[in-house]
Amino acid sequence: MKVLVTGGAGFIGTNFVLRTRATRPDWQITVLDALTYAGSRENLSPVADQIEFVRGNVADADLVDRLVADADAVVHFAAESHNDNSLDDPWPFMESNIIGTYRLLEAVRRHHVRLHHISTDEVYGDLELDDPSRFTEQTPVNPSSPYSASKASADLLVRAWIRSFGIEATLSNCSNNYGPYQHVEKFIPRQITGILQGVKPKLYGAGANVRDWIHVDDHNDAVVTILEKGRLGETYLIGADGEMNNRQIVALLLELMGKPADWFDLVPDRPGHDMRYAIDSSKLRAETGWTPKYQDIRAGLTQTIEWYRANEAWWTRDKERTEQAYQRLGR
Ligand code: NAD
Ligand code: TDX
């Protein structure tokens, strides 16, 4: 199978390409990535001679048409992905996430190519802390930030192209990922790399917001499962029952990295900050048999901390610029 992976040089895409080279060696992989600040071609150097790499924009209609025409399936990870950036400058999110997805949809429609669209639980808005419910495939979209609104827009386009044009597509909405190769702007790597540099973790607001954490390998295994066993036209929620509040995550990182439990700062909150995400992934589990392998976040975080410790050169180049940007935002 010839698979076009968009955004394959970013956090989840890199892990997807490295992992599927090992688990699906018969797949021929082409990566399309614009190499924004969030993507790095070096991430793919272990498999550089086994894949094709194209630097380009998913919003470039001609390029996307050419690459899709040559593929059997597309896995669409490419997106601007950071909420804080979307609050600072929404436009790149509109172009990459909405127009980029539209260009892909038109290309898969023309060439009858299978598409799997990667999305996020953030499209469903947020839940209260004391609400026992979780998001399901029936939850109405209700996004809060320019980022999540752009992802919800893309999801709605995919659903419309399925219904109106009969394209062969599936969608998945996953909860918060952690693991190797995640950009230092994101919560967990920001705190791990800060602690490694002797800087206290920074919690937004009171640190009470809850996220539903999943290891990136479990997300990517679910994506492969949906490609191989998912029903066309369907949406699947991906989650590993990993709800924790941000204070609890920081407490675990401090313990695992040998720092006192009170060694953190509270900083001004993110505007519009979603309170809680929680995923009910029983549809995916019942239909495909997928289950997460990382049942224990302690083990997953230990592996992630070790990766950042061992790969300092990978993250130091982005760390200073990222922290300068946070300083401008007061966070
Ligand atoms: P990331 O920011 O680490 O990587 C995004 C990649 O896409 C980068 O390599 C970047 O260069 C590339 N890219 C951005 N705009 C592009 C464009 N216009 N054309 C081509 N390439 C472009 O993001 P990530 O965390 O790996 O997220 C990947 C996907 O997974 C996104 O669609 C995101 O919405 C979704 N997702 C992420 C999470 C999470 O916790 N990180 C959870 C659920 C869903
Ligand atoms: O320094 C910080 N301190 C802090 O308390 C940062 C960077 C974040 N936070 C909080 C905000 C959130 O409650 O931690 C939580 C996680 O923040 P992010 O890593 O920015 O993730 P989030 O906003 O939840 O979105 C993530 O999950 C869904 C990804 O970035 C998205 O791409 C994905 O769609």
If you average pLDDT over residues 303-322, what whole number do you get?
97
- From CA 227, how far away is CA 105, in angstroms rounded? 17
147 annotated active-site: yes
Domain annotation for the chain: domains and CATH numbers: 2-243+272-323 (3.40.50.720)
**pLDDT tier for residue 131 given thresholds of 50, 70 and 90:** very high
CB of 79 shorter than 6 A to ligand 1: yes
| pLDDT tens, position by position, 209-253 | 999 999 999 999 999 999 999 999 999 999 999 999 999 999 999
Give exposure, 139-166, as e/b (b: 16+ Cβ within 10 Å): bebebbbbbbbbbbbbbebbeebbeeee
The pLDDT, as a whole number, for residue 133 is 96
| Mean pLDDT, rounded, for 294-323 | 96
**Residue 262 Cα to ligand 2 middle (Å):** 21
Residues in CB range of 166: below 8 A, 6 or more apart: none
Asked whether the predicted pLDDT for residue 295 surpasses 90, the reply is: no
The answer to whether 122 is a known catalytic residue is: yes
Of 109, 57, 62, give the one whose Cα is nearest residue 79.
57
Q: Which atom of ligand 2 lies closest to the CA of 203?
A: 5
Q: Considering 102, 124, 147, 236, which one is annotated as catalytic?
A: 147
Q: Which amino acid appears at position 89 of this protein?
A: D
Cα-to-centroid distance, 7 and ligand 2 (Å): 19
Q: How many CB atoms lie within 10 A of CB 299?
A: 12
Mean pLDDT of 49-59: 98
Distance CA 201, CA 190 (A): 8
Which of 11, 89, 187 best tests ligand 1's pocket when mutated (most atoms within 8 Å of CB)?
A: 11
How far apart are alpha carbons 210 and 202 in whole angstroms? Answer: 15
Confidence (pLDDT) at 231: 98
* 314-329 pLDDT per residue, tens: 999 899 999 999 999 8
Whether 306 sits among the annotated catalytic residues: the reply is no
Are 73 and 174 spatial neighbours (Cβ–Cβ below 8 Å)?
Answer: no
What average pLDDT does the structure give for the chain?
A: 98
Instruction: Output the pTM of the full model.
Output: 0.98
pLDDT at 308 over 90: yes
